[in-house]
Amino acid sequence: MSTKPFAISEDWVVVILGLAIIILALSGVIIPKPSFSWADSAALTNKVLSFDNLKIIGAQFGLVYITAIVGAVLLRKDLKALLIVFPIVMILTVIALIIAGNETVKNYNLEAVIFSLAIGLIISNCFKLPLWFKDALSTELYVKIGLVLLGTTVIFGDILKAGSLGLIQALLVVVSVWYFAYWVCRKLKIDKEMSLMLSSAVSICGVSAAIATSGAIKGDTKKLSYVISLVLITAIPMMIFMPYLAEWMNLPQEVTGAWLGGSIDTTGAVVASGSLVGEEALKISTIVKFSQNVLLGIAAFFISIYWTYSKSVDDETKKDKPTLKLIWDRFPKFVVGFVFVSLMFSFIVSPEANNMVKDSLKSIQGLWFALAFTSIGLETNFKDLFKQDNKKPLYAFIVAQTFNIVVTLMIAMALFG
């Protein structure tokens, strides 16, 4: 009789935790969306830092803290370190949310995740964090929970109402950019694991695609963190300057929205840049980005098949027989959760129930993403990004992203112009 303890994979834990948060909300446990908007010190004190608002922030903290603890228990991680580290990450994240809520900052469309990342990077690059602290940072867990919750906003009907153009563009961009990025990586003799993660990140949907690909091939965490850092760092200037470039080019809002949605890798940055242009651009950019998100599961499935049958993977993988079970084992289960939640909110949850919980769930989803980006910053050291050995992936990413911007613009003009 086997004495091996029962264990649940991180992806299934994410699905369980994400669905638990959603079911709680649908059952009536709804935490209001806290306010972080302020224009001056008086508004900051009387509104953001008011007792009532702090209670709401505290309630959100309680929810995510308990969720993180349950996740750590299910994954058999060091609970003692988490109990210390998570509140620190939360405090830093709240500071980022407050900074992003300033009226002047909002005028520049700078999101909280940017400040979360920046605060984490400043701390990690100015101070040497102990290993136990970094080991307690569950970046992938936080991002994946946020992605499952993101499914509550990816309504299939909204995509269909916009016609098939968004899906057509998403398919054309993903296929063409992915193959070009992979070709560049292989020409630069970048290892296959890094090449797959980088190509998916550039072509599909940034962080979530990199995570899905890493899960599909059981990728190295350090390589994944490197790709995620590249995605987030390049998303910032793209998010800020592309809307102004579109205005200089006198592009219609529909074309601009399709361009932004297909080029910028992170969903939050797409929403921010689309808002800067206008309502129509925001709608189209969101639909195009969501269309790429829908393709995430399909891409992860085929990457799983490719990796399993590849002849040039590591020795351990070569020993595994290429069976459907192995492919399923490598398939990122959190994608299943994302699709399930999307279908659930598209066809099962009533519009009335959706209206009751959507603001709360969207706020909590944003909080998980912000927590993840704070953690990424705390894990990342710029010295690691620019080491000699890491320059080739950096060059490949820049070349592939440039190709992505140009090709996506051409496709957007052809379909939406």
Task: Give 311's DSSP letter.
Answer: S
pTM above 0.75, yes or no: no
pLDDT digits (tens, 9 = 90+) for 351-395: 899 999 999 998 998 899 889 888 888 887 766 666 656 678 888
Residue 114's domain spans which residues?
10-416
| Cα–Cα distance, 256 to 270 (Å, whole number) | 11
pLDDT digits (tens, 9 = 90+) for 190-245: 888 888 888 888 887 777 677 667 766 766 767 777 787 788 777 767 877 888 88
Decide if 376 contacts 139 (C-beta within 8 A). Answer: yes
Smallest Cα–Cα separation from 58: which of 86, 31, 95? 31
Which phi-psi region, left, alpha or beta, contains residue 76 (left: φ > 0; alpha: ψ -120 to 50)?
left
pLDDT over 80 at 283, yes or no: no
Q: Is residue 281 part of a domain?
A: yes
The per-residue pLDDT for 272 is 64
Domain count, the chain: 1
pLDDT digits (tens, 9 = 90+) for 94-108: 999 999 999 988 877
| Cα–Cα distance, 323 to 309 (Å, whole number) | 9
Q: Is residue 2 part of a domain?
A: no
Task: Give 164's DSSP letter.
Answer: S
pLDDT digits (tens, 9 = 90+) for 298-325: 676 677 667 666 644 555 545 555 556 6
pLDDT classification of 2: cutoffs 50, 70, 90: very low
Q: Tokens 């002849």 belong to which residue?
A: 311
Q: Which residue has the higher pLDDT, 85 or 224?
A: 85
Q: Is residue 123 part of a domain?
A: yes
Q: Is residue 5 part of a domain?
A: no
Q: Tokens 């999307």 belong to which residue?
A: 342
Q: Which amino acid would we find at residue 243? A: P
Q: Which amino acid would we find at residue 197? A: M
Q: Is residue 3 part of a domain?
A: no
